[in-house]
Structure 1
Amino acid sequence: MLLLLLPLVIQLAAQGAAAICPPPGSVKIESFSYLGSGCPLGTAVGDISSDGQALTVMFSKYFATTDKLLTDRRRNCVVTVSLSYPGGFVVSVGTVTMRGYLKLDAGAVGTIQTWYYFSGLPGTARFVRNFTGVVDKNFEVTDKFLTLVYSSCGVFRNLNLASEARVIPGPGYPAKGNGLVEIDSQDLSVRQVWNLVWQKC
Protein backbone atom coordinates (compact mmCIF):
# COMPACT_ATOMS: atom_id res chain seq x y z
CA MET A 1 0.00 0.00 0.00
CA LEU A 2 1.40 3.36 -1.04
CA LEU A 3 1.44 5.86 1.80
CA LEU A 4 0.80 9.38 0.54
CA LEU A 5 1.90 12.07 2.94
CA LEU A 6 1.25 15.80 3.23
CA PRO A 7 3.42 17.95 5.44
CA LEU A 8 1.53 20.97 6.71
CA VAL A 9 4.02 23.62 7.80
CA ILE A 10 3.35 26.82 9.69
CA GLN A 11 5.99 29.49 9.18
CA LEU A 12 6.08 31.67 12.27
CA ALA A 13 8.66 34.19 11.10
CA ALA A 14 7.49 37.31 9.32
CA GLN A 15 9.17 38.11 6.02
CA GLY A 16 11.19 41.23 5.31
CA ALA A 17 13.35 43.47 7.43
CA ALA A 18 10.56 45.96 8.09
CA ALA A 19 8.00 43.34 9.08
CA ILE A 20 6.20 43.74 12.39
CA CYS A 21 6.53 40.63 14.49
CA PRO A 22 7.02 39.54 18.11
CA PRO A 23 10.58 39.09 19.41
CA PRO A 24 12.39 35.99 18.10
CA GLY A 25 11.53 32.88 20.06
CA SER A 26 8.50 34.43 21.76
CA VAL A 27 5.92 32.72 19.53
CA LYS A 28 5.30 29.03 20.12
CA ILE A 29 2.99 26.34 18.83
CA GLU A 30 1.62 24.73 21.99
CA SER A 31 -0.63 21.99 20.63
CA PHE A 32 -2.73 20.91 17.65
CA SER A 33 -5.55 18.60 16.65
CA TYR A 34 -7.12 17.56 13.34
CA LEU A 35 -10.56 16.53 12.13
CA GLY A 36 -12.27 15.91 8.80
CA SER A 37 -13.16 13.41 6.09
CA GLY A 38 -9.70 13.89 4.57
CA CYS A 39 -7.95 13.27 7.88
CA PRO A 40 -9.89 10.68 9.89
CA LEU A 41 -8.59 9.83 13.34
CA GLY A 42 -5.45 7.74 13.06
CA THR A 43 -4.58 8.77 9.48
CA ALA A 44 -2.28 11.66 10.39
CA VAL A 45 0.95 11.99 12.33
CA GLY A 46 2.07 15.34 13.67
CA ASP A 47 5.12 16.77 15.34
CA ILE A 48 5.84 20.08 17.03
CA SER A 49 9.53 20.99 16.98
CA SER A 50 11.35 21.13 20.31
CA ASP A 51 11.50 24.94 20.17
CA GLY A 52 7.81 25.25 19.29
CA GLN A 53 8.59 27.06 16.05
CA ALA A 54 7.36 24.51 13.51
CA LEU A 55 4.46 22.12 13.13
CA THR A 56 4.42 19.32 10.57
CA VAL A 57 1.35 17.13 10.09
CA MET A 58 1.54 14.16 7.73
CA PHE A 59 -1.72 12.87 6.21
CA SER A 60 -2.17 9.51 4.48
CA LYS A 61 -5.81 9.59 3.30
CA TYR A 62 -6.29 13.07 1.88
CA PHE A 63 -7.64 12.76 -1.67
CA ALA A 64 -10.90 13.18 -3.58
CA THR A 65 -11.73 10.73 -6.36
CA THR A 66 -14.53 9.69 -8.71
CA ASP A 67 -13.42 6.05 -8.50
CA LYS A 68 -15.31 5.26 -5.29
CA LEU A 69 -18.47 6.41 -3.54
CA LEU A 70 -20.20 9.72 -4.17
CA THR A 71 -18.99 10.93 -0.77
CA ASP A 72 -15.38 10.31 -1.84
CA ARG A 73 -15.58 13.15 -4.36
CA ARG A 74 -15.12 15.69 -1.58
CA ARG A 75 -12.60 15.60 1.26
CA ASN A 76 -11.73 18.21 3.87
CA CYS A 77 -9.53 18.66 6.90
CA VAL A 78 -9.24 21.23 9.68
CA VAL A 79 -6.06 21.48 11.72
CA THR A 80 -6.63 23.43 14.92
CA VAL A 81 -3.53 25.06 16.36
CA SER A 82 -2.96 26.64 19.77
CA LEU A 83 -0.41 29.47 19.63
CA SER A 84 1.21 31.44 22.43
CA TYR A 85 2.74 34.86 21.77
CA PRO A 86 3.40 38.12 23.64
CA GLY A 87 0.61 40.52 24.50
CA GLY A 88 0.21 43.56 22.30
CA PHE A 89 0.06 41.58 19.06
CA VAL A 90 -2.65 40.06 16.90
CA VAL A 91 -2.01 37.41 14.27
CA SER A 92 -3.44 36.56 10.87
CA VAL A 93 -2.52 34.37 7.90
CA GLY A 94 -1.07 36.24 4.92
CA THR A 95 -0.51 33.58 2.28
CA VAL A 96 -0.86 29.85 1.83
CA THR A 97 0.90 27.53 -0.61
CA MET A 98 -0.86 24.34 -1.67
CA ARG A 99 0.87 21.57 -3.54
CA GLY A 100 -0.54 18.28 -4.72
CA TYR A 101 -1.40 16.04 -7.65
CA LEU A 102 -4.17 16.19 -10.28
CA LYS A 103 -5.38 13.54 -12.70
CA LEU A 104 -8.47 14.71 -14.59
CA ASP A 105 -10.05 13.29 -17.72
CA ALA A 106 -11.58 15.60 -20.32
CA GLY A 107 -14.29 17.74 -18.76
CA ALA A 108 -13.63 16.66 -15.19
CA VAL A 109 -13.14 19.52 -12.72
CA GLY A 110 -10.91 19.47 -9.66
CA THR A 111 -11.15 22.13 -6.95
CA ILE A 112 -8.93 22.97 -4.03
CA GLN A 113 -9.73 25.60 -1.46
CA THR A 114 -8.25 26.74 1.81
CA TRP A 115 -9.56 28.98 4.53
CA TYR A 116 -8.83 29.90 8.11
CA TYR A 117 -10.66 31.31 11.10
CA PHE A 118 -10.20 31.85 14.83
CA SER A 119 -12.39 29.91 17.24
CA GLY A 120 -15.22 32.03 18.60
CA LEU A 121 -14.58 34.98 16.29
CA PRO A 122 -16.53 36.07 13.19
CA GLY A 123 -14.87 36.15 9.81
CA THR A 124 -13.30 33.62 7.48
CA ALA A 125 -10.67 34.21 4.79
CA ARG A 126 -10.42 31.78 1.89
CA PHE A 127 -9.22 31.17 -1.65
CA VAL A 128 -10.40 28.70 -4.30
CA ARG A 129 -8.66 27.26 -7.37
CA ASN A 130 -10.33 25.20 -10.12
CA PHE A 131 -8.65 22.90 -12.64
CA THR A 132 -10.28 21.38 -15.73
CA GLY A 133 -9.13 18.21 -17.51
CA VAL A 134 -7.32 16.89 -19.38
CA VAL A 135 -4.68 17.20 -16.62
CA ASP A 136 -2.13 14.77 -15.21
CA LYS A 137 0.46 16.64 -13.17
CA ASN A 138 1.67 17.88 -9.83
CA PHE A 139 0.44 21.35 -8.96
CA GLU A 140 1.58 24.25 -6.81
CA VAL A 141 -0.42 27.39 -6.12
CA THR A 142 0.35 30.27 -3.77
CA ASP A 143 -2.32 32.80 -2.92
CA LYS A 144 -2.55 35.86 -0.73
CA PHE A 145 -5.77 36.14 1.23
CA LEU A 146 -7.50 39.31 0.00
CA THR A 147 -9.16 39.84 3.37
CA LEU A 148 -7.17 39.24 6.55
CA VAL A 149 -8.93 37.98 9.65
CA TYR A 150 -7.06 38.76 12.87
CA SER A 151 -7.15 37.25 16.32
CA SER A 152 -8.45 39.24 19.31
CA CYS A 153 -6.10 41.58 21.13
CA GLY A 154 -5.23 40.18 24.53
CA VAL A 155 -7.20 36.94 24.05
CA PHE A 156 -5.58 33.74 22.79
CA ARG A 157 -7.86 31.81 20.47
CA ASN A 158 -7.20 28.67 18.48
CA LEU A 159 -6.25 29.15 14.83
CA ASN A 160 -8.14 26.79 12.52
CA LEU A 161 -6.44 25.96 9.21
CA ALA A 162 -8.88 24.33 6.81
CA SER A 163 -8.62 22.88 3.32
CA GLU A 164 -10.74 20.91 0.89
CA ALA A 165 -10.24 18.81 -2.23
CA ARG A 166 -13.19 18.19 -4.56
CA VAL A 167 -13.68 16.56 -7.95
CA ILE A 168 -16.63 16.65 -10.37
CA PRO A 169 -16.70 14.00 -13.13
CA GLY A 170 -16.80 14.99 -16.77
CA PRO A 171 -19.01 13.84 -19.67
CA GLY A 172 -19.25 10.09 -20.22
CA TYR A 173 -18.67 9.13 -16.59
CA PRO A 174 -17.90 6.44 -15.47
CA ALA A 175 -16.45 5.10 -18.73
CA LYS A 176 -14.53 8.37 -18.96
CA GLY A 177 -14.54 11.76 -17.30
CA ASN A 178 -12.89 10.47 -14.12
CA GLY A 179 -10.83 12.58 -11.77
CA LEU A 180 -8.46 12.51 -8.80
CA VAL A 181 -7.28 15.40 -6.62
CA GLU A 182 -4.65 14.73 -3.96
CA ILE A 183 -3.47 17.29 -1.45
CA ASP A 184 -0.35 15.25 -1.02
CA SER A 185 2.35 13.76 -3.21
CA GLN A 186 3.54 10.46 -4.60
CA ASP A 187 7.11 11.56 -4.02
CA LEU A 188 6.33 12.75 -0.47
CA SER A 189 7.66 16.22 -1.26
CA VAL A 190 4.40 18.14 -1.31
CA ARG A 191 3.12 20.36 1.47
CA GLN A 192 0.94 23.21 2.60
CA VAL A 193 2.75 26.28 3.89
CA TRP A 194 0.90 28.90 5.93
CA ASN A 195 2.63 32.24 6.51
CA LEU A 196 1.57 34.25 9.55
CA VAL A 197 1.17 38.03 9.60
CA TRP A 198 1.38 40.16 12.74
CA GLN A 199 0.07 43.56 13.85
CA LYS A 200 0.48 45.51 17.05
CA CYS A 201 -2.66 46.29 19.00
Structure 2
Amino acid sequence: MAALAGVLLILLLLLQLAGHGYAVSPPPGSVTIVGSSFNGDGCPSGSSVVVVLSEDAEILTVWFGDYAASSDSPASDQRKQCTVSVQLSYPQGFTFTFVDVILNGYAQLDAGVKAIARTSYYFSTLLGTGRATHQFQGPMDDDFEVRASFVSPASSRCNMIRDLNINSEVRVNAGNYVPRRRGLITGDSDDLKFTQILAFSWEAC
Protein backbone atom coordinates (compact mmCIF):
# COMPACT_ATOMS: atom_id res chain seq x y z
CA MET A 1 0.00 0.00 0.00
CA ALA A 2 2.81 2.40 0.88
CA ALA A 3 4.52 1.64 -2.43
CA LEU A 4 1.30 2.34 -4.33
CA ALA A 5 0.84 5.62 -2.47
CA GLY A 6 4.40 6.61 -3.38
CA VAL A 7 3.78 5.90 -7.06
CA LEU A 8 0.55 7.90 -7.02
CA LEU A 9 2.35 10.81 -5.35
CA ILE A 10 5.06 10.81 -8.02
CA LEU A 11 2.44 10.69 -10.80
CA LEU A 12 0.57 13.59 -9.22
CA LEU A 13 3.79 15.62 -9.01
CA LEU A 14 4.59 14.91 -12.66
CA LEU A 15 1.11 16.03 -13.70
CA GLN A 16 1.46 19.25 -11.72
CA LEU A 17 4.83 19.97 -13.29
CA ALA A 18 3.51 19.29 -16.76
CA GLY A 19 0.58 21.59 -16.15
CA HIS A 20 2.49 24.51 -14.72
CA GLY A 21 5.96 24.27 -16.22
CA TYR A 22 9.10 23.50 -14.25
CA ALA A 23 12.70 24.60 -14.16
CA VAL A 24 14.73 22.52 -16.61
CA SER A 25 17.29 23.46 -19.24
CA PRO A 26 17.28 22.35 -22.90
CA PRO A 27 19.64 19.48 -23.81
CA PRO A 28 23.34 20.39 -24.08
CA GLY A 29 24.23 21.84 -27.46
CA SER A 30 20.62 22.45 -28.49
CA VAL A 31 20.68 26.24 -27.91
CA THR A 32 22.64 28.35 -30.39
CA ILE A 33 22.96 31.95 -31.54
CA VAL A 34 21.82 32.18 -35.17
CA GLY A 35 22.68 35.86 -35.59
CA SER A 36 22.81 39.26 -33.94
CA SER A 37 22.72 42.95 -34.82
CA PHE A 38 23.03 46.21 -32.90
CA ASN A 39 22.25 49.90 -33.13
CA GLY A 40 22.37 53.03 -30.99
CA ASP A 41 24.63 55.97 -30.24
CA GLY A 42 26.54 53.79 -27.75
CA CYS A 43 27.42 51.27 -30.47
CA PRO A 44 27.62 53.13 -33.80
CA SER A 45 28.53 51.37 -37.04
CA GLY A 46 32.08 50.10 -36.88
CA SER A 47 32.13 49.64 -33.10
CA SER A 48 32.65 46.27 -31.46
CA VAL A 49 29.73 44.35 -29.92
CA VAL A 50 30.15 40.63 -29.18
CA VAL A 51 27.42 38.24 -27.99
CA VAL A 52 28.46 34.90 -26.44
CA LEU A 53 26.31 32.02 -25.18
CA SER A 54 27.73 29.67 -22.53
CA GLU A 55 27.99 25.97 -23.43
CA ASP A 56 25.25 25.05 -20.96
CA ALA A 57 22.96 27.84 -22.26
CA GLU A 58 22.69 29.33 -18.78
CA ILE A 59 24.55 32.61 -19.40
CA LEU A 60 24.39 35.18 -22.22
CA THR A 61 27.26 37.68 -22.27
CA VAL A 62 27.34 40.92 -24.26
CA TRP A 63 30.64 42.85 -24.61
CA PHE A 64 30.67 46.47 -25.74
CA GLY A 65 33.73 48.30 -27.02
CA ASP A 66 33.96 52.11 -27.22
CA TYR A 67 31.01 52.49 -24.86
CA ALA A 68 31.08 55.49 -22.54
CA ALA A 69 29.03 58.33 -21.06
CA SER A 70 30.92 61.38 -19.80
CA SER A 71 30.18 64.77 -18.28
CA ASP A 72 33.18 66.21 -20.15
CA SER A 73 31.40 65.77 -23.46
CA PRO A 74 28.46 67.58 -25.08
CA ALA A 75 25.09 66.95 -23.45
CA SER A 76 24.31 64.25 -26.03
CA ASP A 77 27.28 62.20 -24.74
CA GLN A 78 26.15 62.22 -21.11
CA ARG A 79 23.76 59.39 -22.03
CA LYS A 80 24.57 56.46 -24.31
CA GLN A 81 22.46 53.47 -25.27
CA CYS A 82 22.72 50.38 -27.44
CA THR A 83 20.11 47.80 -28.45
CA VAL A 84 21.35 44.33 -29.36
CA SER A 85 18.98 41.99 -31.21
CA VAL A 86 19.81 38.30 -30.83
CA GLN A 87 18.32 35.46 -32.86
CA LEU A 88 18.38 32.28 -30.77
CA SER A 89 17.59 28.72 -31.84
CA TYR A 90 16.37 26.28 -29.17
CA PRO A 91 14.06 23.22 -29.01
CA GLN A 92 10.30 23.51 -28.81
CA GLY A 93 8.82 22.90 -25.41
CA PHE A 94 10.93 25.49 -23.58
CA THR A 95 10.52 29.11 -22.49
CA PHE A 96 12.93 31.41 -20.68
CA THR A 97 13.28 34.64 -18.79
CA PHE A 98 16.32 36.44 -17.39
CA VAL A 99 16.64 36.48 -13.61
CA ASP A 100 19.30 39.15 -13.20
CA VAL A 101 22.22 40.86 -14.90
CA ILE A 102 25.82 41.43 -13.83
CA LEU A 103 27.41 44.64 -15.12
CA ASN A 104 31.16 45.07 -15.43
CA GLY A 105 32.83 48.38 -16.20
CA TYR A 106 34.66 51.38 -14.77
CA ALA A 107 33.34 54.55 -13.12
CA GLN A 108 35.15 57.75 -12.23
CA LEU A 109 32.77 60.07 -10.38
CA ASP A 110 33.60 63.16 -8.36
CA ALA A 111 31.82 63.65 -5.05
CA GLY A 112 28.11 64.27 -5.61
CA VAL A 113 28.16 63.06 -9.23
CA LYS A 114 25.71 60.27 -10.05
CA ALA A 115 25.58 57.63 -12.77
CA ILE A 116 23.03 55.03 -13.81
CA ALA A 117 23.40 51.78 -15.75
CA ARG A 118 20.19 50.25 -17.06
CA THR A 119 19.48 46.96 -18.81
CA SER A 120 16.14 46.01 -20.31
CA TYR A 121 14.99 43.25 -22.63
CA TYR A 122 11.91 42.21 -24.60
CA PHE A 123 10.86 39.78 -27.30
CA SER A 124 9.84 41.11 -30.72
CA THR A 125 6.02 41.28 -31.20
CA LEU A 126 5.40 40.15 -27.59
CA LEU A 127 4.22 42.27 -24.68
CA GLY A 128 6.35 42.81 -21.60
CA THR A 129 9.76 44.29 -20.82
CA GLY A 130 12.14 43.24 -18.06
CA ARG A 131 14.08 46.14 -16.51
CA ALA A 132 17.07 46.27 -14.17
CA THR A 133 18.85 49.40 -12.86
CA HIS A 134 21.94 50.12 -10.80
CA GLN A 135 22.85 53.57 -9.48
CA PHE A 136 26.36 54.79 -8.75
CA GLN A 137 27.25 57.65 -6.39
CA GLY A 138 30.52 59.59 -6.32
CA PRO A 139 33.17 59.80 -5.11
CA MET A 140 34.22 56.70 -7.03
CA ASP A 141 37.24 55.80 -9.14
CA ASP A 142 37.39 52.06 -9.76
CA ASP A 143 36.29 49.09 -11.82
CA PHE A 144 32.91 47.70 -10.79
CA GLU A 145 31.01 44.42 -10.91
CA VAL A 146 27.41 44.84 -9.78
CA ARG A 147 24.31 42.69 -9.93
CA ALA A 148 20.79 43.97 -10.61
CA SER A 149 17.54 41.98 -10.63
CA PHE A 150 14.95 42.37 -13.37
CA VAL A 151 11.63 43.88 -12.35
CA SER A 152 8.67 42.02 -13.91
CA PRO A 153 10.86 39.82 -16.14
CA ALA A 154 9.53 39.28 -19.66
CA SER A 155 9.09 35.68 -20.79
CA SER A 156 9.33 34.04 -24.19
CA ARG A 157 6.29 32.12 -25.49
CA CYS A 158 6.05 28.36 -25.66
CA ASN A 159 6.86 27.03 -29.16
CA MET A 160 7.13 30.60 -30.50
CA ILE A 161 10.71 31.84 -31.00
CA ARG A 162 11.04 35.61 -31.38
CA ASP A 163 14.08 37.89 -31.57
CA LEU A 164 15.50 38.78 -28.16
CA ASN A 165 16.21 42.51 -27.84
CA ILE A 166 18.57 43.69 -25.09
CA ASN A 167 18.93 47.39 -24.40
CA SER A 168 21.82 48.90 -22.45
CA GLU A 169 21.93 52.50 -21.22
CA VAL A 170 24.55 54.42 -19.25
CA ARG A 171 24.01 57.97 -18.01
CA VAL A 172 26.06 60.49 -16.01
CA ASN A 173 24.54 63.38 -14.04
CA ALA A 174 27.21 65.82 -12.84
CA GLY A 175 24.70 68.27 -11.38
CA ASN A 176 25.19 72.05 -11.34
CA TYR A 177 28.22 72.30 -9.12
CA VAL A 178 30.62 75.26 -9.30
CA PRO A 179 33.37 74.57 -10.07
CA ARG A 180 32.19 71.87 -12.44
CA ARG A 181 32.53 68.26 -11.30
CA ARG A 182 33.28 65.34 -13.56
CA GLY A 183 31.88 61.89 -14.19
CA LEU A 184 32.64 58.98 -16.49
CA ILE A 185 31.23 55.46 -16.89
CA THR A 186 32.83 53.15 -19.45
CA GLY A 187 34.55 49.79 -20.01
CA ASP A 188 36.73 48.40 -17.23
CA SER A 189 40.42 49.18 -16.98
CA ASP A 190 41.48 45.59 -17.72
CA ASP A 191 40.07 44.98 -21.22
CA LEU A 192 38.29 48.33 -21.84
CA LYS A 193 34.98 46.52 -22.35
CA PHE A 194 31.61 47.26 -20.79
CA THR A 195 29.96 43.90 -20.13
CA GLN A 196 26.44 42.59 -19.48
CA ILE A 197 26.12 39.03 -18.14
CA LEU A 198 22.53 37.78 -18.17
CA ALA A 199 21.38 34.63 -16.36
CA PHE A 200 18.75 32.47 -18.07
CA SER A 201 15.86 30.86 -16.23
CA TRP A 202 14.53 28.03 -18.43
CA GLU A 203 11.24 26.20 -18.04
CA ALA A 204 9.61 23.31 -19.82
CA CYS A 205 6.18 24.15 -21.19
TM-score, normalised with respect to structure 1: 0.81
Select 1:60's aligned residue among 54, 61, 65.
Answer: 65
* Distance of 1:100 and 1:82 partners within structure 2: 26
Measure the CA separation in 2 of the matches of 1:146 and 1:46: 25
Q: How does 1:119-198 map to 2 (within 5 A)?
A: 119-172=124-177, 175-182=179-186, 184-188=187-191, 191-198=195-202
Q: Is the 8 A contact 2:115 2:173 kept in 1?
A: yes
Displacement of 1:39 = 0.5
Please state if 1:89 is matched with 2:94. Answer: yes
Runs (5+) with no aligned partner, structure 1 = 1-17
Give the 3-state SS of the residue equivalent to 1:71 in structure 2.
helix
Q: Which AA in structure 2 matches 1:78?
A: T
The structure whose Rg is larger is 2
Alignment partner of 1:91: what SS? strand
For 1:81, the aligned partner's letter is V
| Range moving further from structure 2, 18-27 or 119-128 | 18-27
Residue 143 of structure 1, CA deviation: 2.2
Give the number of equivalent residue pairs: 181
Distance in 2, Cα, partners of 1:123 & 1:114: 14
CA distance in 2, matches of 1:41, 1:92: 29
- In the other structure, the counterpart of 2:78 is 73
Conserved? CA contact 1:27–1:85, under 8 Å: yes
1:108 aligns with one of 105, 109, 113: 113
CA contact (8 A) 2:101 2:148 kept: yes
CA distance in 2, matches of 1:114, 1:107: 23
Distance 1:25 1:110 in 2: 39
For each residue in 1:146-175, what CA deviation from the matched residue of structure 2 results, as whole angstroms up to 9, or x when unmatched? 4221112111101111111000113425x4
Q: What displacement does 1:199 show? A: 1.3
Q: What is the letter of the counterpart of residue 107 of structure 1?
A: G
Structure 2: distance between partners of 1:97 and 1:47: 15
1:59: Cα distance to partner?
2.9
Amino-acid identity (%): 40
Structure-2 separation of matches of 1:55 and 1:145: 15
2:91 aligned counterpart, secondary structure: coil
1:196, distance to aligned residue in structure 2 (A): 1.2
Q: 1:42 is matched by which residue type in structure 2?
A: G
Q: Does 2:46 match 1:42?
A: yes
Structure 1 distance, partners of 2:135, 2:44, is: 25
Task: Tell me which residue corresponds to 2:7.
Answer: none
CA contact (8 A) 1:44 1:57 kept: no
Distance 1:67 1:44 in 2: 23
Q: Unmatched 5+ residue regions in structure 2?
A: 1-21
Distance 1:146 1:57 in 2: 20
